[in-house]
Amino acid sequence: MRKNNIIEQSWANDLPALVEAGLLEDKKNLELSAISLVRRLRNEFPDVAKGIAAVLSGYSKGNGAFRSVGVSPPADRDTHANLLQVDDATRGALKPVFDARIESEVARFVAERERAEELLKAGVMPANKLLLTGAPGTGKTMLATWLAQKLEMKIAVFDLATSLSSLLGNTGLNIKRIFSYAKQESIILFLDEFDAIAKRRDDATDVGELKRIVNVLLKEMESWPSRSILIAATNHPELLDPAIYRRFDSCVSLPLPDKEQVIAIIARSLGERLDTVSPSILDLLGEVLKGKNASEIVLYSNNAIKHHLINEMPLDESLMTTLLDCARRENSKKIGILCYAMKQALGSKISVRKLAELSGLSTTTVQYHIKKGVKQ
Ligand SMILES: Nc1ncnc2c1ncn2[C@@H]1O[C@H](COP(=O)(O)OP(=O)(O)OP(=O)(O)O)[C@@H](O)[C@H]1O
Ligand SMILES: [Mg+2]
């Protein structure tokens, strides 16, 4: 009897928070209190605990009564411009090429989402707020789109930079409306150019309005429900307010591709044509292009394919010509080094005359670079 009293009291302690969260429509705290109740009631009142867990998992999947019907995405009150770009059928989205470390971080996030129901039943919250950082063209948007496809969820994109520059006065309100839409639907809300808003609150250039917006954002993130996913992307994580940073469950920092990923990205772009490319050229490309962003590597590969098709040139050759073109545009000093690297990689398969033809240099200059390279 006494034991029962203690247990009853312990779970009864959760009730005021549950009622308060319900009245305030604070879904996150409502969920947390319900999860806590499941844990506390599991032994003494297994049926009640199961019942609450079933309600929680139905909600997390956006089932039945919890599914909102025909909620349309919000628009700005003054300009009527759509605040969100919603895509509810991401198909054919490719998974970005990542190294093993990022692969496993992404896999862990996906596993938590795919097994969200199980986790909720066990009384723990699955991760639902992901921060993606990385230089431009490293796959932040690509990853968010792929996740939407993988998890079979709609994705709604909110570009903070555009919205902030044109609608500063309404931004606080717009953010509230965007979050309230995203909380009703079971979706991925993708906040692009996140640093535009999530600036340090102590930044000297910060205006009061911006501070207010950051506070709105913090509050909205606090009450983000488990069934939806929030993904934010930024090229400037150092500008983020530490308070905002802390609110993410996971932070994945996407690096520039190393040699292995460069080769994988080129191989994917070339598709079946890869069979006609000599391994030494691929190796050379990996070496020369490592450290460029993935977007530039995809662009490079596509240019080489176009060159190959339009000029009816062997792919090996168009890959080299395109590489020399890029070097010429970036820094003409690199062309000599590239001629040397190509000779090293291909040996007798490429003549000095051919290198001169591809690079636009004279045979004497090519010879000079090859000799200079050998001496280095
Ligand atoms: N890791 C990657 N693997 C393969 N392709 C990639 C990868 N990252 C980027 N790409 C290619 O570059 C294109 C642009 O990438 P994406 O838009 O995802 O970059 P981003 O990190 O969002 O850049 P930004 O900061 O400018 O928004 C993609 O459509 C894809 O073709
Ligand atoms: Mg992007």
Quick check: 67 pLDDT over 50? no
235 Cβ below 6 A of ligand 1: yes
What confidence category does residue 69 fall into, taking pLDDT thresholds of 50, 70 and 90?
very low
* Nearest residue by C-alpha to atom 18 in ligand 1: 139
- Average of per-residue pLDDT across 122-142: 94
Domain map (residue ranges) of the chain = 2-66, 85-254, 259-375
Q: Which residues are near ligand 2, the ion (C-beta closer than 5 Å)? A: 140-141
Quick check: 92 pLDDT over 90? no
- Average of per-residue pLDDT across 147-176: 80
| Phi, psi angles (nearest 5°) of residue 253 | -105, 110
pLDDT 10s digits, 301-345: 999 999 999 988 889 989 998 998 888 777 767 888 888 888 888
**344 CA to centre of ligand 1 in angstroms:** 31
pLDDT at position 264? 97
For every residue of 205-251, DSSP letters joined together read T--HHHHHHHHHHHHHHHT--TTSEEEEEES-GGGB-HHHHHT-SEE
Task: Determine the Cα–Cα distance for residues 247 and 113; give it in Å rounded to an integer.
Answer: 18
Those residues whose C-beta lies under 8 Å from the C-beta of residue 332, and which sit 6 or more positions away, are none
Mean residue pLDDT across the chain: 83
**1 CA to centre of ligand 1 in angstroms:** 62
- Average of per-residue pLDDT across 52-57: 79
- Average of per-residue pLDDT across 40-51: 81
pLDDT at position 207? 64
pLDDT 10s digits, 258-286: 999 999 999 999 999 999 998 989 999 99
**293 CA to centre of ligand 1 in angstroms:** 8
Q: Relative to the CA of 142, which ligand 1 atom is closest?
A: 18
pLDDT at position 89? 66
pLDDT at position 256? 96
Helix, strand, coil percentages for the chain (3-state, nearest 5): 65, 10, 25
102 Cβ below 6 A of ligand 1: no
What confidence category does residue 157 fall into, taking pLDDT thresholds of 50, 70 and 90?
very high
Chain-centroid distance of CA 249 in Å reads: 14
Q: Are 231 and 189 in contact (CB under 8 A)?
A: yes
138 Cβ below 6 A of ligand 1: yes
More confident residue, 309 or 164: 309
* Nearest residue by C-alpha to atom 7 in ligand 1: 139
Q: Which of 95, 106, 141, 260 to mutate to test the pocket of ligand 1 (most atoms within 8 A of CB)?
A: 141
What confidence category does residue 1 fall into, taking pLDDT thresholds of 50, 70 and 90?
very low
Least confident of 125-129, 139-143, 240-244: 240-244
* Nearest residue by C-alpha to atom 17 in ligand 1: 141
Quick check: 128 pLDDT over 90? yes
147 Cβ below 6 A of ligand 1: no
pLDDT at position 68? 45
* Nearest residue by C-alpha to atom 27 in ligand 1: 136
What confidence category does residue 376 fall into, taking pLDDT thresholds of 50, 70 and 90?
low
CATH value of 85-254 in 3.50.50.60, 3.40.50.300, 3.30.420.40, 1.10.3720.10: 3.40.50.300
pLDDT at position 324? 86
pLDDT 10s digits, 214-261: 888 888 888 888 889 999 999 998 888 888 888 899 999 999 999 999
136 Cβ below 6 A of ligand 1: yes
- Average of per-residue pLDDT across 196-212: 64
298 Cβ below 6 A of ligand 1: yes
Quick check: 208 pLDDT over 80? no
For the chain, what percent of residues have pLDDT higher than 70?
Answer: 87
For every residue of 267-333, DSSP letters joined together read HHHHGGGGGGS-HHHHHHHHHHHTTS-HHHHHHHHHHHHHHHHHTT--HHHHHHHHHHHHHHHH-TH
pTM over 0.85: no
